[in-house]
Amino acid sequence: MSLIQIAWRNFCHRSLSSFLTTLSLALGVGLVVLVLSVFGIVTEAFSRNASVGYNLVVGPKGSALQLTLNSVYYLSQPIENLPFTEYMEFFDAADRAEMVRKYGGDPALGERDGEYAAFIAGGYAIPLALGDYVGEFRAVGTTPDFFENLRHGPNVDEKFRFKEGRAFKGYSDENSYFEAVLGSRVASEMDVHVGQMFYPTHGDPEGQGHGQGFAVVGILEPTGTPNDRAAFVNLEGFYLLENHSKPLTGDETIVENDDWKSRDPDHKPLTIPEREVTSILIRNGNLMFAPGMQNKINEGLQSQAAAPVGEIAKLMTAIVGPLLKALLAITLITCVVAAVGVLVAIYNSMNDRRRDIAVMRALGARRETVTTIILAESLIIALIGGLCGWFLAHFAILAASGYIEEQTGVQVTLFTTSSYELAILPLVIALALLAGFLPAWSAYRTDVGSNLAA
């Protein structure tokens, strides 16, 4: 018989004690693996959400983290607004002139290229206007480019897909400027479908309702990004809501045309001086130009540019990471406690087994052999407990995989493991062997003569 077979027999013989000891270790390991997995999922969710196709977020001067949180995650409050002309700085003269013609404004704006236009050649700039709510969810005013240009998914190459309907248009004959697209969670939690209307509230979820409603024309499929938790409305419609236009001072130069009357005589789009944006999502056509542009924007007096990935990395390093590490430390202590349980269980069994050890010694087993058998028992408990704990945690994660994917977009399978987990089993084995050392030493020192005679 091999020593492992002998150890296995001893393990099976004290079945209840072995089961309870192994169970406590499995629960400890399961807890550690669960925390590691949550750590991995949170990290991936944060970094994934921070990269949805754009590389910079531009907003008013203030906290870069706050800008990232409210523009990328739709959390926290917007800092302030930027004048629409700041948004126009990302376009060349022809585009700017077209904006002046469409909305009305100072024709001089269309006579030059925007200050940052050259930096984003081949890329895009998408405006966001925040401040309204739909139930508990953020209403995000933006342009149809949002759905056309942004990407998501693990490789940031998946376009938005619609579970129902389509993207809103800048203007449609049936709904004028008042079309909306809902993120998947907004639609499911508010039970809203294409064709229904909703009415944003101003300022906060309990705020005063705007009289103007938006027709839902599309519902997005889940993306696993914060966009699932947003209600997107046409920026033009957003501007037309009550109190959403910037008051004019009277000093502005505004040249208007009457095109709007032929579209919707009841709703005149705001002129450029009346428009504001909360933030601008930027994708540089050539990413090499991003740092230069970011510096130039930050050197200005009005705007700041933040890289969401960098800001989130800072947030992870500063707050989330240490919290998770503290949690990990607590669970590792749990694991050590479980290992002490192994020690106590085996050590307590030694009193009943001294005669067995003495008999084996009388049959020719060396001191080192009986020591190895005891350590092998610890090893068996560690292996079974470790593997059971790992599977326990991963089955729990698998059971919650649908919820996790819905909330974070992170897809998990039974065998989705973090690199930290690879260290778990060796660590548990080392702990168990350490725990087995004391009883093994006791076995080593067992006096054969007195225990055979006992």
Backbone angles phi, psi at 283, to 5 degrees: -125, 120
Q: Of the candidates 115, 267, 355, 388, which one interacts with another protein according to CB under 8 A? A: 355
Give CA–CA dist 441/172, Å, rounded.
Answer: 83
- The CB-of-372 to another protein minimum distance in angstroms stands at 12
Q: Please provide the size of the chain in residues.
A: 454
Least gap, CB of 449 to another protein (angstroms): 5
What's the CA gap between 120 and 187, in Å, rounded? 34
User: Which of 122, 211, 250, 364 is the binder for another protein (CB under 8 A)?
Assistant: 364
Kindly report the number of other CB atoms within 10 A of residue 333's CB atom.
12
> Which of 15/155 has CB closer to another protein?
15
Q: Which of 193, 199, 189 is nearest to 165 (CA)?
A: 193
Q: In whole angstroms, how close is the CB of 224 to another protein at the nearest point?
A: 52
To the nearest whole angstrom, how small is the minimum distance from the Cβ of residue 452 to another protein? 7
**Cβ of residue 351: shortest distance to another protein, in angstroms?**
15
Cβ distance to another protein smaller for residue 166 or 355: 355
CB of 1 to another protein, least distance (A): 5
Minimum distance of another protein from residue 14's CB (angstroms): 8
CB of 19 to another protein, least distance (A): 15
x-or-dash pattern for another protein, window 255-274, by CB under 8 A? --------------------
Q: Cβ neighbours of residue 85 under 8 Å, at least 6 residues apart?
A: 109, 272
Other beta carbons within 10 angstroms of residue 349's beta carbon come to 18
Q: Is the Cα dihedral 42, 47, 53, 58 positive or negative?
A: positive
- Residue 363: CB minimum distance to another protein, A: 6
Structure tokens at 57: 């977020």
- Identify the three-state secondary structure at position 403: helix
Q: Indicate the helix (H) or strand (E) that contains 283.
A: strand 279-283
Residue 348 in the binding site for another protein (CB under 8 A): no
How many Å apart are CA 377 and CA 185, to the nearest integer?
A: 51
- Using the minimum distance from each CB to another protein, give the nearer residue, 7 or 79: 7
The closest alpha carbon to 182, from 214, 152, 145, 153, belongs to 214
In whole angstroms, how close is the CB of 451 to another protein at the nearest point? 10
**Segment 365 to 424, residues that bind another protein, using CB under 8 A:** 365-369
* Selected binder of another protein within 319, 362, 400, 414 (CB under 8 A): 362
With CB under 8 A as the rule, give the number of residues binding another protein. Answer: 24
Q: How far is CA 8 from CA 15, 22, 432, in A?
A: 11, 13, 15
Radius of gyration over alpha carbons of the chain, in Å?
32
- Rounded distance between C-alpha atoms, residue 226 and residue 266, angstroms: 34
- Residue of 280, 233, 235 whose CA lies nearest to 125: 280
Task: Tell me which stretch binds another protein (CB under 8 A): 10-18, 62-70, 106-114, 148-156.
Answer: 10-18
Interface with another protein, residue 448, by CB under 8 A: yes
Q: Closer to another protein by CB, 156 or 452: give it.
A: 452
Q: Does 9 bind another protein (CB under 8 A)?
A: yes
Q: Is 16 a binder of another protein (CB under 8 A)?
A: no
Is the Cβ of residue 301 or residue 454 nearer to another protein in the bound state?
A: 454
Least distance from another protein to the Cβ atom of residue 448, Å? 5
Complex with another protein: residue 314 or 366, whichever CB lies closer: 366
Ramachandran assignment for 206, one of left (phi > 0), alpha (psi -120 to 50 degrees), beta (any other): alpha
Q: Give 133-193 as a DSSP string.
A: EETTEEEEEE-THHHHH--BTTTT-BPP-EEEE----SSBTTTBT-EEEE-HHHHHHHT--
Segment interacting with another protein, rule: CB under 8 A, options 59-67, 78-86, 98-106, 359-367: 359-367
Considering only residues 174 to 213 of the shown chain, the ones binding another protein according to CB under 8 A are: none
Among 6, 32, 410, 427, binds another protein (CB under 8 A): 6
Rule CB under 8 A: say whether 359 interacts with another protein.
yes
Please measure the distance between the N-terminal and C-terminal CA atoms of the chain and give it in whole angstroms. Answer: 26
Exactly one of 72, 324, 360, 380 binds another protein (CB under 8 A); which one?
360
Q: Rounded to whole angstroms, how far apart are CA atoms 322 and 316? A: 8
Residues lying near another protein in the complex (CB under 8 A) = 1, 6, 9-10, 12-13, 355-356, 358-369, 448-449, 452-453
